[in-house]
Amino acid sequence: MLLAAAMEVVDTHGAGAFSMRALGAFLDVDPTAMYRHFATKNALLDALTDTVIRGVEELPETDDPRRDIRENFRQLRRSLLAHPTLAPLVLRRPPGVGAYWERADHAVAQLHRAGMDPADAANVYQTLLFYTLGHTLSEARQLARAVEREGAGARGGPVAAVRPPAEHHPDLSDAAPHLREENEAQFLAGLDLILRDLPR
């Protein structure tokens, strides 16, 4: 399928190296043949990002709303990190686009179940979504650079330590060691911070 081939090219060489000509070469087809199926390169990229937002995992339905919400956003994070060079392009999709509906409805339903009114649920959902996007897209950056340099499967070096000039930023250097923690744990800590009023 055309989208699958496009995703393979993106994951192998990075979204920066993706072009209609590169995709044509991969499919052994004239570079202009794709215009029968997608009006523009942008439309093709939008379709790719929608499949990343949607992901491949089932949304969980247990009896623990807090756990289910956490898992919803962990899934989004995993899907974005699986395609790190494509991840930043999800920002071109409005949050009202189809691919987000399932996640939005799932999260809002769990928040409702946990006793929140619609206004609070909407606020918490959006905060979780934007936090997840900001955190994960920042995280994807270093992974993406490794892919664009070394090709698919690159692991990206160890997370660089944050080293501010100590003389100028005394408070920051006390906190700096904690800014370097492993990213998954850091991500979950932020989720829990936002969800800390939910029953656990």
Partner DNA sequence: ACCTGAACACCGTTCAAGT
Partner from DNA, a second copy, none binding residue 126, C-beta < 5-8 Å depending on class: a second copy
Of 33, 178, 184, 200, the one binding a second copy by CB under 8 A: 178
Q: Enumerate residues 86-105 that contact a second copy by CB under 8 A.
A: 88, 91-92, 94-96, 101, 104-105
- The nearer residue to DNA, 32 or 138, going by C-beta atoms, is 32
Q: Which is nearer to DNA, 85 or 132 (CB)?
A: 85
DSSP state of 15: G
Give the nearer residue to DNA in terms of CB position, either 45 or 146. Answer: 45
CB of 174 to DNA, least distance (A): 39
- Quote the least distance from Cβ 21 to a second copy, whole Å: 19
CA distances from residue 87 to 83, 142, 162 in whole angstroms, order as listed: 6, 12, 23
Q: Name the DSSP letter for residue 37.
A: T
Report what 33 binds from DNA, a second copy, none; CB cut-off 5-8 Å by kind: DNA
Q: What is the rounded CA–CA span in Å between residue 185 and residue 180? A: 11
Per DSSP, the three-state class of 43 is helix
For 183, the enclosing helix (H) or strand (E) is helix 183-194
Footprint of a second copy on 122-141 (CB under 8 A): 122-127, 129-135, 137-138, 141
Specify whether the CB–CB gap between 64 and 110 falls below 8 A.
no
DSSP string, 99-148: HHHHHHHHHHHHHHHTT--HHHHHHHHHHHHHHHHHHHHHHHHHHHHHHH
E strand or H helix at 74, and its extent?
Answer: helix 65-82
Q: Which does 22 bind (CB under 5 to 8 A by kind): a second copy, DNA, none?
A: DNA
| 30 binds, options a second copy, DNA, none, Cβ within 5 to 8 A by partner type | DNA
Q: Which one, of 25, 10, 18, 11, lies nearest residue 41 by Cα?
A: 18
Identify the residue among 32, 172, 184, 200 touching a second copy (CB under 8 A). 172
How many Cβ atoms are within 10 Å of 1's Cβ, its own excluded?
A: 6
Give me the residues that bind a second copy (CB under 8 A), please: 88, 91-92, 94-96, 101, 104-105, 108-109, 112, 118-119, 121-127, 129-135, 137-138, 141-142, 160-165, 168-172, 174-179, 186, 189-190, 193-194, 196-197
